[in-house]
A and B are shown apart, each in its own frame.
Chain A
Amino acid sequence: SQQGEEDPQALSIQEGENATMNCSYKTSINNLQWYRQNSGRGLVHLILIRSNEREKHSGRLRVTLDTSKKSSSLLITASRAADTASYFCATDSGNTPLVFGKGTRLSVIA
C-alpha cells in the first residue's frame, strides 16, 4: 500500500522558475523524507524532516511539514534542467520501513 500521495502527478516549468510539489499522507508519522529519481535509476535521498519540525532547508530545497493536515511540500527554487526527475515523498512511523507515494514527474524546460 502507498501512504503518501503527491500532487501534482506531473509538473512542467521553465528553467529558473520555482517548482512546488505536495505530499499528503494518512497515518501518524515519525519522519517524512523526499527522494529524487532520474529515469530508470535508483532513488536519491534529498531531505528528511522529523515530525516535530515544521520547515527545513537544503541548498535550493525547502521542505515544510504540517502534521495537523498530514501534508508536506517540497519547493525547488531557481530550477535547472538537471532537476528534471520524479520526486517521491516517503514516511515512516517509527521503526518501520519507508512507505512511498506515487511521485510527481517534474520537467524543467531550458
Chain B
Amino acid sequence: DTGVSQDPRHKITKRGQNVTFRCDPISEHNRLYWYRQTLGQGPEFLTYFQNEAQLEKSRLLSDRFSAERPKGSFSTLEIQRTEQGDSAMYLCASSVDPSGGYTFGSGTRLTVV
C-alpha cells in the first residue's frame, strides 16, 4: 500500500444527480473516516467505520448521504439528489489506532452546477 486512495479526484455533476465516491484505505487500518472541507475551512467530520460497522454519523450527513464499507475494506460515499451546497472537497482518512494519527487521501473535489 502506498497510502489512502480516493477516486475520482474531481467530479462535476448537475444539480439533482447522484454521485458516488470511493476510498481505499491502508489495508491494515481498521478505521475509516469521511470528512468534508469547504474553501478556507477545516475538515468537518461526516462519518466513520470500524471494520464494516458504521459507528457514528454527523448531523451534517443528511438522509441524501449514505456511506458503506462492505467487508471492512474500501468505502463508498453516495450523495443523492445533489445540491449546490454539496460542492466541497470530500476527504477520506484511515487509522489503525483510534487515538493515533490519520492518513488522508488526496480527496475528491465535487462541483455541483
Please give, as numbers and ranges, the residues of chain B lying within 8 Å of A90 by CB-CB distance.
42
A contact residues vs B (CB 8 Å cutoff) = 2, 4, 30-31, 33, 35, 40-45, 48, 88, 90, 92, 94-103
Residues of B within 8 A of A98 (CB): 33, 45, 102
> Looking at the complex, which one of A40, A95, A97 makes contact with B45 (CB distance below 8 Å)?
A97
- List 7 interface pairs A-B (beta carbons < 8 Å), by A numbering: A2-B42, A30-B99, A40-B89, A41-B107, A42-B6, A42-B93, A103-B42
Smallest CB–CB gap between A11 and chain B, Å?
15
- Tell me the residues in window 55-100 of chain B with beta carbons closer than 8 Å to chain A beta carbons: 56, 89, 91, 93, 98-100
B25 interface hit (Cβ, 8 Å): no
Minimal beta-carbon separation of B60 from chain A (angstroms): 9
A88 to B43, Cβ gap below 8 A? Answer: yes
How far, in angstroms, from A42 to B44 measured CA to CA in the complex? Answer: 13
In angstroms, Cα B44 to Cα A96, docked, is: 13
Other-chain residue from B40, B98, B100 in contact with A48 (beta carbon distance below 8 A): B100
Q: Return the chain B residue nearest A2 by Cβ.
A: B42
CA distance A99 to B33 in the complex (A): 12
**CA of A6 to CA of B19 in the docked complex: distance in angstroms?**
33
Do the beta carbons of B99 and A101 come within 8 Å of each other? no
Q: Mark B26-70, 1 if CB is under 8 A from A, else 0.
A: 000000010100001111110010000000100000000000000
